[in-house]
Amino acid sequence: MSFSHHSEKHYIQRTGWLRAAVLGANDGIISVTSLIMGMAASGASTQTLIITCVAGLISGASSMAAGEYISVRSQVDIEEADLHMEARELERNPHHELKELTQIYVMRGLTPELAHEVAVQLTANNALEAHARDEIGIHENTAANPLQAAGSSALAFSIGALFPMVSILISPEQHVETVVMVVGILSLAGLGALSSYFAGTSKLKGSLRVAIWGIIAMSFASLVGSLFHVSTF
């Protein structure tokens, strides 16, 4: 019997990638929109803004992918080291390990006799899996895939960066800055509401929080950009 035969979808299984996806999209919107706001405030042309947008998308998505890969990879390394140590202990000291597992089930509320029986049967079935799950807390659901994490956060960032990109393309030249800003704030608010919806918390609070931080980042970029106004050179 395996956990993978579970048919119902639990929240815990999707929180990992959902959190990564929302953070990635959030980053994509805030950083690329701020970049464009700064460039637009400096008086850059629409063509320059589009090039900046593409460059921002590529560099941001690569850096997200690299960061996510390294962080998940090191998590996997830690889990593997733990499993390795546990496997060695099981080989060297099986009696002690059986007692340890029994104790864990007693602490969870089983009678000592039943805990012993459970520990014996699980050890016979797959000792390492039982220790990994019940002692260390590692099982299929928590084991992350570094490549998948890297790919999905890069994709999420790129989707976020598409908002400022589309805004530049649809906006009349003289209103680029305003359109990019409004679309940025609205998309951040929408994303904040969406993530609150998945997390089961207040949608208004979620969208306000994300939108306010976005406005602060964009205003700062715009201010810095205006200090370098192209037409003054």
| Smallest distance, Zn ion to C-beta of residue 49, A | 58
| Smallest distance, Zn ion to C-beta of residue 12, A | 23
Residues numbered 76-115 forming contacts with Zn ion, rule: CB under 5 A: 97, 100
| Smallest distance, Zn ion to C-beta of residue 126, A | 13
Query: Residues touching Zn ion: how many (CB under 5 A)?
Result: 4
> Contact between 135 and Zn ion (CB under 5 A)?
yes
Closest CB to Zn ion among 72 and 101? 101
The one segment of 49-57, 132-140, 167-175, 222-230 that binds Zn ion by CB under 5 A = 132-140
The residue whose Cβ lies closest to Zn ion is 131
| Smallest distance, Zn ion to C-beta of residue 108, A | 15
**Which residue in 36, 131, 180, 193 binds Zn ion (CB under 5 A)?**
131
CA-closest candidate to residue 15, choices 199, 202, 192: 199
Task: Give me the residues that bind Zn ion (CB under 5 A), please.
Answer: 97, 100, 131, 135
